[in-house]
A and B are shown apart, each in its own frame.
Chain A
Amino acid sequence: MSAGLPTTLISSKPRLMPDFADAWRHRALATTLAWRNIKIRYRQTILGSLWIVLQPLLLTGVLTVVLGIFLSVPSSGLPYAVFAFSGTTIWSAFQRALSDAAISLASSGNIVQKVYFPRMLIPAAAVIATVMDLMPVYALLIVVVAAFGLFPGWVILASPFFVLLALLMAFAIGLWMTVLDAVFRDIRLVTPSILQLLLYLTPVMYSQSVVPARWQALYGANPLVAVITGFRWSVVAGAPPPDLIGIVWACVFVALATISGLMLFARLESFAIDRI
């Protein structure tokens, strides 16, 4: 008589991977949570979501003045402002996605300890919220690029791929960090420093060409390098293309990080939630 009803099995055995079918059934919750994150972030603000656009714009402005004008940092032959804006657009999406995902589980303690839903959706929602943040910035970037006469043409269709790669990377690393952060809050304290170091190690504000030849291989080991170079190439005409090996490496890295992140999450989520 109970045919057709979903069956839930509760067991002491830890899972190898999160329950994807269950997560899929709850998929609407991921966007609802993301939308809540956004709404809460801009509550009681005057400019509201305008801040989303202002943040990378201000960063671009400072970079352009200090690095572009004062220091004349090489920018692959592009106007420095365009170079920096395209870089900060994708960088700030990655940065926000990762830092929000990293603290997401511990910050949801009050919900997570009162009701069950696939916990994987919590870091996922943090990343999805970033997509919503990215949209207006991305639109503005296209306008700026076009104003400089550097609209890339059809190549722009490749840009979502790089955005996806960057966000998946943030999600994968975020899975690692958030489950550890729930147990050891050290994680949230070191995240900003790590991100800051990473910013200097990726071609956001300077061209990869400034890196000496013998350091290039090591530099390219940072999977974000290909992602950022690729994104810039796909949105600005005349930007140098990413090298294929770099992109393959970024994809392999994302795959490995995602699989290991999901396994770690499945293994530790219950342990972590009992200890938030």
Chain B
Amino acid sequence: MSDLAIEATGLGKRYVLGENTSRDRFRLALRSLLPNRPLGGEKALWALRDVSFSVTQGEAIGIIGRNGAGKSTLLKLLSRITQPTEGRAQLRGRVGTLLEVGTGFHPELTGRDNIFLSGAILGMPRAEVARKFDEIVAFAEIEKFVDTPVKRYSSGMYVRLAFAVASFLEPEILIVDEVLAVGDVAFQRKSLARLNDASRGHGRTVLFVSHNLQAIRTFCRRTIVLEQGRLIFDGSVEDGIEHYLRALPKEMKLRNVAEKNRANRSSGAAKFVSLKSMDRDGTGTWRHQHGEVVRFQFDYEVREPIRDLGFHFQVRMASTDEIITALYEVVSEMPLTAGRKGRVELSFPRFPMRPVELAIRADLMSLDYRTVYDTVDDNVAMPFLVIGSNNYDRYFRIGLISFDYEFKATEVVGVDASRDRARDEVTK
């Protein structure tokens, strides 16, 4: 087959851990100068190992996997930002990379200057940028601010401009990482439509990493699932998502999860030690059915004496970060001593959300809201809640939520007669 756009064979990337001292670095730097001497002996982490796949021109492929599965490393290797430790890949066509919006933007420069700079960095010739300049500005909706330094932009404007520049690139292969998680919903939709157009309309090859399974579903026809640096699935989108969801842990032991990440957002006086999402029967799962029982169970531990304890819970759209609901409950109005343990249980008898991915956040905090003791959410690798449904009614698929409602349809007999009577009354 001659129309392969990407062919990767045995790709692997190893990072050496614990080379924190300059002496370690010096030794490594010297060693890397020697030909064909593999680095060894040090503690090493394979961020990606033995990944092989090929992509036909015009395919849109979604790459999914949990945090740390190697998705970003794979994209970085394919876009040549970092070099593989082993293996090789061949890419046919210009490669455009969108790993982070605003790459190459400089805050001191105006929108106009940044468009040209960013375009050049992404590999667009100046004349091409000039030709598309007006379109880019219009797409980003920043007409009035073209000559203002971008440091004065709102974050929304910044993101819109950055995506606009990148999306007007016309490489044969486009590599996109989670960029759609930023910006407002309307702009996200617009951006996704643009990517879709590049792939379906113009036959470009797109590699797309996202946590947004819905976007993967609508946009890709094939997925690659990574887990702990290995490719564990390559095939249809539905099967891939199934694989990914099955690989999610049933219960999260939080004792050692991202302590550092949690510590800088909270005081740590009380901590979640495990959390579990369960169905009606208490079986741990992150997949739930619309209209069924959804239960959560959080175990916590008090580390330092606290005056009181409150529990906060939030449900957001995984794709857009919009908060769907939040609730707050008192756990204890009494002071708690260090070492106390407890459990918070939360149950939704008939979960109202229609098929969607949801991000969950839970906090332990003081009752005056002043001190957050601990926060867990997708930043500490908490999986998204995936809601499915067996209802295939097409009207059911429109909209996010089912309300409880009552509906009545009555056939009224003798309509014509009553209307005539009404007319009579008027004419009287």
Residues of A within 8 A of B (CB): 1-2, 5-12, 14, 26, 28-29, 32-33, 36, 39-40, 43-44, 111-117, 180, 183-184, 186, 264, 267-268, 270-271, 273-275
Cβ of B123: which chain A residues have Cβ within 8 Å of it?
26, 29, 117
Neighbouring A residues of B79 by C-beta, 8 Å:
115-116
CB-defined contacts of A11 to chain B, threshold 8 Å: 84, 87-89
Q: For residues 157 through 208 of chain B, which have their beta carbon under 8 Å from a beta carbon of chain A?
A: 172
Contact of B109 among A28, A39, A275 (CB under 8 A): A39
Given the interface contacts A111-B103, A114-B103, does A9 sit within 8 Å of B88 by beta carbon?
A: yes
Q: Which residues of A contact B28 (CB under 8 A)?
A: 271
A32 touches B103 (CB 8 A): no
Instruction: Determine if B90 is an interface residue (Cβ-Cβ < 8 Å).
Output: yes
Check B82–A2 contact: CB distance below 8 A.
no
Q: Contact partner of A114 among B15, B81, B90, CB < 8 A?
A: B81
Q: Is the CB of A12 within 8 A of B33?
A: no
Contact yes or no, A10 B109, CB < 8 A: no
Please state if A28 and B125 are interface contacts (CB–CB under 8 Å).
yes
**Which residue of the partner chain, among B15, B78, B103, B172, contacts A274 with CB atoms under 8 Å?**
B15
Given contacts A6-B92, A184-B22, 20 further A-B contacts (CB under 8 A): A6-B93, A6-B94, A8-B90, A9-B88, A9-B89, A10-B77, A11-B88, A14-B35, A28-B125, A36-B106, A114-B97, A115-B121, A116-B79, A117-B121, A186-B22, A268-B29, A268-B32, A270-B82, A270-B83, A273-B82
**Interface stretch of the complex, out of B112-120, B289-297, B417-425:** B112-120
Residues in B49-95 with C-beta less than 8 Å from chain A? 57, 77-95
A116 and B77 alpha carbons, distance in the complex (Å): 10
| Tally of contact residues, B, Cβ under 8 A | 51
B215: interface (CB < 8 Å): no
Tell me if B108 is interfacial: C-beta within 8 Å of chain A. yes
Query: Which are the 10 A-B pairs with shortest beta-carbon distances?
Result: A270-B83, A116-B80, A32-B120, A10-B89, A114-B103, A11-B88, A8-B91, A5-B93, A43-B108, A29-B120
CA distance A40 to B80 in the complex (A): 28
Contact call B108/A32, Cβ cutoff below 8 A: no
- Which chain A residues lie closer than 8 Å to B82 at the CB level? 270, 273-274
Chain B neighbourhood of A10, CB < 8 A: 77-78, 80, 83-84, 88-91
- Flag whether B126 is at the interface (Cβ < 8 A): yes
Cross-chain pairs A/B with CB under 8 angstroms, 12 sampled: A1-B2, A7-B91, A8-B95, A10-B83, A11-B84, A12-B84, A29-B123, A39-B109, A44-B108, A116-B80, A183-B29, A184-B26
Determine the distance from Cα of A184 to Cα of B19 in the docked complex, in whole angstroms: 13
Q: Which residues of A contact B91 (CB under 8 A)?
A: 7-8, 10
Bound complex: CA of A116 vs CA of B57, how far in Å?
Answer: 21
